[in-house]
A and B are shown apart, each in its own frame.
Chain A
Amino acid sequence: MVRLDDAVVLSNGFPLLSGVDLELVAGSLSVITGANGAGKTSLLRLLGGLVALSSGRGTVVGIDLSEGDLRHLRRRVGWLGHEGSFYDDLSVRENLEFAARALGRPTQAIEGVVERVGLTHRIDTTTKQLSAGQRRRLGLSWLLLRRPELWLLDEPYASLDDEGRTFFDGLLGEVVAGGATVVVSAHDPLRSAALHPRTLTLAGGRIVSDVA
């Protein structure tokens, strides 16, 4: 599913990733931990085709990161960032309809997934009026609607209350059981013991520990 060999990512001459070697198999759950600035978000962005590989080699879902079509790669991954999702001036429903129509997906399932993430009462509210946790749930509803092969979740537990965290743990288990590959970045190890993730620790833009 994912293979990186000595992957380096630069930004303005600074190495965000300084040589990452990584192999992930399909249907696995991995947690990337590390201090601030260790390169967690950069690694996720590289896997999602959102930043270019500066040197080294890599393939994600069979697409070469150096020579492949990154637009095709992006269409096959799901991204949940910690900054929010989609357009602030559109409602939850409008954002999801835009995304579904862009990918040619049916829009009938929108109400179902919105109910699943607990946003039904906010479905016609503009995104900028949502709280940070509710925005995170909007991002999740989009992933549920899309069901991508590779889920990239950047600090998904931030801004979630206890109920949200429990819901999220349950969802992760379900997604992995369904055959998708999930990579989560987090400051702390996952709370749920039932998930048994592989834990990768990043420091200085490299993986310094890998515990299965």
Chain B
Amino acid sequence: MIRIAWLVAVKDLRIEARSRVLLWQVLPFGAMALLLSGLALGPTHAGHSTAGPGLFYLVTLFVALLMINRSQGIERTPGTRASVATLGLDPAGVFLGKTLALAIELWVSGVVLLCGAVLVLHTALHGALLALPSIIVTLGAMAAAGTLYGALTSGGEGAATLLPVLTLPAFAPLLISGERSFSAALNHGALWQWWVIVVVALVAYLGVGILLYGVLEES
């Protein structure tokens, strides 16, 4: 399982590095969404907003949706599907590998968007650095959930529009706990309950993915 996970993660990241969809399409989208968030707050609130953590997570969530679609999309071309199916890969390994690759991509985009939040929304740099561990775990949970929901919608009718409908409710607690822990880091508040939610969600998604990812395979 670990061997297949590593193989799949390296393959996904290599494809990403070569196609540069993250660099040229997803990150510019994220940067623009962050700018639009500032514009939506209005001239008086854009520069000194307490909404920085929430907007950071909201933009990250939309970026995650694009990346989940991309992660499943590389497996969808008809030739790829049939050829890879004949490899009979361990589904738990495929799930973990795709989750790891997606998590790494989300961490990269998270760092870029965090810099954007510090720069554009004037989020305190010190607080942003304190929030980094919780951001890493929250984005990890998003990657696990995203891989599962991506596989659920993959290949179905209107997969690209169905994905947000199914994923956003699952992302809601991650958005809440991410935003709260980020805000707590900025204001030196209590963090433990938000960690509980993120860690429980991460463990639950990893558990369900390892057990049930094979069930989602098409036949």
- State yes or no: do A and B touch (Cβ within 8 Å): yes
- Identity of the chain A residue whose Cβ is nearest the Cβ of B21 in the assembled complex: A89
Which residues of B lie under 8 Å from residue A83 when comparing CB positions?
A: 77-79, 82
A50 to B219 CA separation, bound complex (whole angstroms): 6
Determine if A190 is an interface residue (Cβ-Cβ < 8 Å): no
Q: Which of B3, B19, B78, B85 contacts A89 (CB 8 A)?
A: B19
A193 to B173 CA separation, bound complex (whole angstroms): 67
Let me know if A88 and B77 touch, CB within 8 A.
yes
Determine if A125 is an interface residue (Cβ-Cβ < 8 Å): no
- Greatest chain B CB density within 10 A among A72, A77, A78, A85 is at A85
- Nearest Cβ in chain B — how far from A117, in angstroms? 15
Let me know if A87 and B219 touch, CB within 8 A.
no
| Chain B interface size, under 10 / 10 to 19 / 20 to 34 / 35 or more | 20 to 34
| Chain A interface size, under 10 / 10 to 19 / 20 to 34 / 35 or more | 20 to 34
Which of B10-18, B48-56, B138-146, B190-198 participates in binding chain A? B10-18
Determine if A198 is an interface residue (Cβ-Cβ < 8 Å): no
Which residues of A lie under 8 Å from residue B4 when comparing CB positions?
A: 102
- Identity of the chain A residue whose Cβ is nearest the Cβ of B17 in the assembled complex: A89
Determine if B83 is an interface residue (Cβ-Cβ < 8 Å): yes
Q: Which of B11, B85, B86 contacts A87 (CB 8 A)?
A: B11
Determine if B165 is an interface residue (Cβ-Cβ < 8 Å): no
A79 to B11 CA separation, bound complex (whole angstroms): 21
Q: Which of A51, A85, A101 contacts B83 (CB 8 A)?
A: A85
- Nearest Cβ in chain B — how far from A211, in angstroms? 28
Identify which of residues 43-60 in chain A touch chain B, using a CB-to-CB cut-off of 8 Å: 45, 48-52
Let me know if B88 and A75 touch, CB within 8 A.
yes
Please list 28 pairs of residues, one from A and one from B, whose beta carbons are closer than 8 Å in the complex, sorted by A's number: A49-B219, A50-B82, A51-B219, A52-B219, A71-B88, A71-B214, A72-B88, A74-B85, A75-B86, A75-B88, A79-B82, A81-B78, A81-B79, A81-B82, A81-B83, A83-B78, A84-B77, A85-B80, A87-B74, A89-B14, A89-B15, A90-B11, A90-B14, A90-B15, A101-B3, A102-B7, A102-B87, A126-B18
